[in-house]
């Protein structure tokens, strides 16, 4: 890639200035590979971010898995440091100590250290943020670092740190231009976070054969959800979770409530801590299942009498889970559902819409002016029409320039007690979340 030579300039003094510099300096948002980030890490003499490290990859459910582990570790009196992406409202959400986003000054200081060490090496926005996060976690002296892969796994900057436990929550079609056109290729990329003789927890009930082969070649100790060693079972209104201890003994958690976030992510979080030797007790697991929330993941807020559901689902697998959760929320009631939807243009838009067409009464399609790759509202509405015709389901829609305008129309069109679903992208949820203000939840962990 050809880029203009850098010119010297005063060091940024504020977080917005730092982020603007990083975005302008390396306009390519994604440039996979570990050579650049590893070279700068060596110059930094980068310490391990924590005595114990859990790395989490997966198409969907990564952030939820990290949130569950934050809650479980806090309930056991252990300190956690989390690095996740992307953020919704503020960059600080990406780096959390005990579930609390770090301050601007902490991020600025870490960016400055990376800037000094990088020399002539060009780093992407994500690579700089990753190195800064690792410095912050190490300085904070946390007990466990929880690292969420940005995309893929094998060549993601997070993978410069060898985990003590690795997690792959799910494998579905997303980012095909970078990771491959099918689940096998995508799974192989995610398998790259594994290490020889290190536990690899897989939350996908049907993992691709190529991924399993790659994990076996690496020599990972695979713990597969749905196996005799690691499983979830519905027992009436409760859940039973079976985990396996490091010495091979079964560990049963009975009478667990249904979590609001994906149960597979919850199960992976518990098994990850068990595999680390930090086994949570039954009360801690039950509370985590009941209480863990995450902004923008089936987040419910009562607003002007409406039930507003915010979800960043942006691929067909996530949309299918969202539709299932919506049906459970409705419980057979005939309550009207209004959907505010905006999607990036390089996503499978029809595949995202299809699972939700039977569940939604009126659609409010919106453009995403804050995203270069955003699909237009008219493009979404056209695909929605085709999907609805194919399903034989009516789809009433209108079009708007941005999510805020679409949400305002949904408020006007709906009645108290009805549902407004906002989904399709982080870029769709974030502006609505900003409108809701103080009614929004914290970045991760408990949602009081």
Per-residue pLDDT at 8 exceeds 80: no
Dump pLDDT digits (tens) for 27-71.
655 677 899 999 999 999 999 999 999 999 999 999 999 999 999
- Dihedral angle sign, alpha carbons of residues 131, 135, 136, 137: positive
Domain boundaries in the chain?
15-291, 299-439
Per-residue pLDDT at 270 exceeds 50: yes
How confident is the prediction for the chain on average, in pLDDT? 93
Q: How confident is the model at residue 437 (pLDDT cuts 50, 70, 90)?
A: confident
Q: How far apart are CA 23 and CA 168, in angstroms?
A: 29
Please tell me the predicted confidence (pLDDT) of residue 433: 96
Dump pLDDT digits (tens) for 306-362.
999 999 999 999 999 999 999 988 877 789 999 999 999 999 999 999 999 999 999
CA dihedral 386, 389, 391, 395 (to 10 degrees): 90
Beta-ladder partners of 306: 303
Per-residue pLDDT at 432 exceeds 60: yes
Per-residue pLDDT at 444 exceeds 80: no
Q: How far apart are CA 255 and CA 309, in angstroms?
A: 27
Q: How far apart are CA 259 and CA 228, in angstroms?
A: 22
Across 204-263, the runs of DSSP E, i.e. the strands, are 221-224, 231-235, 238-244, 250-256
Neighbours of 274 (CB within 10 A): 22
Q: How far is CA 412 from CA 198, 304, 409, 442, in A?
A: 54, 11, 5, 28
Per-residue pLDDT at 201 exceeds 90: yes
pTM of the predicted protein model: 0.93
Retrieve residue 159's tokens. 């993978």
Please tell me the predicted confidence (pLDDT) of residue 178: 63
Kindly report the CATH number that applies to the domain delimited by 299-439: 3.90.190.20
Per-residue pLDDT at 19 exceeds 90: yes
Mean pLDDT of 214-231: 98
Beta-ladder partners of 292: 446
Q: How confident is the model at residue 9 (pLDDT cuts 50, 70, 90)?
A: low
Per-residue pLDDT at 370 exceeds 70: yes
Kindly report the CATH number that applies to the domain delimited by 15-291: 3.40.1190.10
């Amino acid at each position: 890639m050809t880029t203009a030579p850098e010119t010297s300039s005063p060091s940024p003094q504020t977080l917005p200035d730092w982020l603007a510099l990083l975005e302008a300096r390396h306009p390519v948002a994604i440039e996979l590979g570990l050579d650049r980030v590893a070279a700068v890490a060596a110059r930094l003499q980068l310490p391990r971010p924590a005595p114990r490290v859990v790395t989490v990859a997966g198409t969907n459910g990564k952030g939820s898995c990290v949130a569950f582990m934050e809650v479980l570790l806090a309930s056991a009196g252990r300190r956690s440091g989390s690095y996740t992406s992307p953020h919704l409202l503020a960059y600080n959400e990406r780096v959390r100590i005990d579930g609390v986003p770090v301050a601007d000054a902490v991020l600025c200081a870490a960016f400055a250290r990376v800037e000094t060490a990088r020399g002539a090496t060009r780093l992407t926005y994500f690579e700089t943020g990753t190195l800064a996060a690792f410095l912050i976690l190490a300085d904070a002296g946390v007990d466990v670092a929880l690292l969420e892969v940005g995309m893929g796994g094998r060549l993601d900057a997070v993978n410069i740190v060898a985990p003590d436990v690795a997690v792959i929550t799910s494998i579905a079609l997303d980012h095909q231009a970078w990771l491959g056109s099918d689940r096998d290729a995508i799974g192989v990329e995610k398998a790259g976070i594994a290490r020889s003789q290190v536990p690899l927890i897989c939350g996908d009930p049907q993992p691709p054969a190529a991924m399993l082969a790659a994990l076996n070649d690496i020599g990972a100790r695979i713990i597969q959800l749905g196996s005799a060693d690691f499983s979830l079972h519905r027992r009436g209104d409760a859940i039973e979770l079976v985990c396996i201890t490091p010495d091979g003994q079964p560990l049963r958690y009975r009478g667990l409530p249904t979590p609001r976030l994906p149960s597979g992510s919850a199960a992976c979080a518990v098994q990850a801590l068990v595999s680390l030797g930090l086994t949570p007790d039954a009360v801690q697991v039950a509370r985590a299942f009941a209480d863990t929330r995450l902004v923008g993941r089936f987040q419910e807020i009562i607003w002007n009498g409406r039930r507003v559901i915010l979800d960043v689902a942006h691929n067909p697998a996530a949309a299918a889970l969202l539709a299932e959760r919506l049906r459970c929320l409705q419980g057979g009631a005939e309550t009207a559902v209004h959907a505010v939807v905006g999607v990036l243009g390089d996503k499978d838009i029809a595949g995202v819409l299809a699972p939700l067409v039977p569940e939604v009464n009126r659609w409010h399609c919106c453009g995403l002016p804050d995203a270069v790759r955003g699909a237009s509202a008219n493009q979404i509405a056209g695909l929605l029409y085709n999907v609805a015709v194919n399903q034989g389901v009516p789809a009433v829609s209108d079009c708007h320039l941005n999510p805020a305008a679409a949400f305002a129309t949904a408020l006007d069109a709906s009645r108290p007690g009805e549902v407004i679903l906002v989904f399709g992208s982080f870029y769709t949820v974030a502006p609505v979340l900003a409108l809701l203000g103080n009614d929004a939840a914290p970045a991760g962990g408990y949602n009081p």
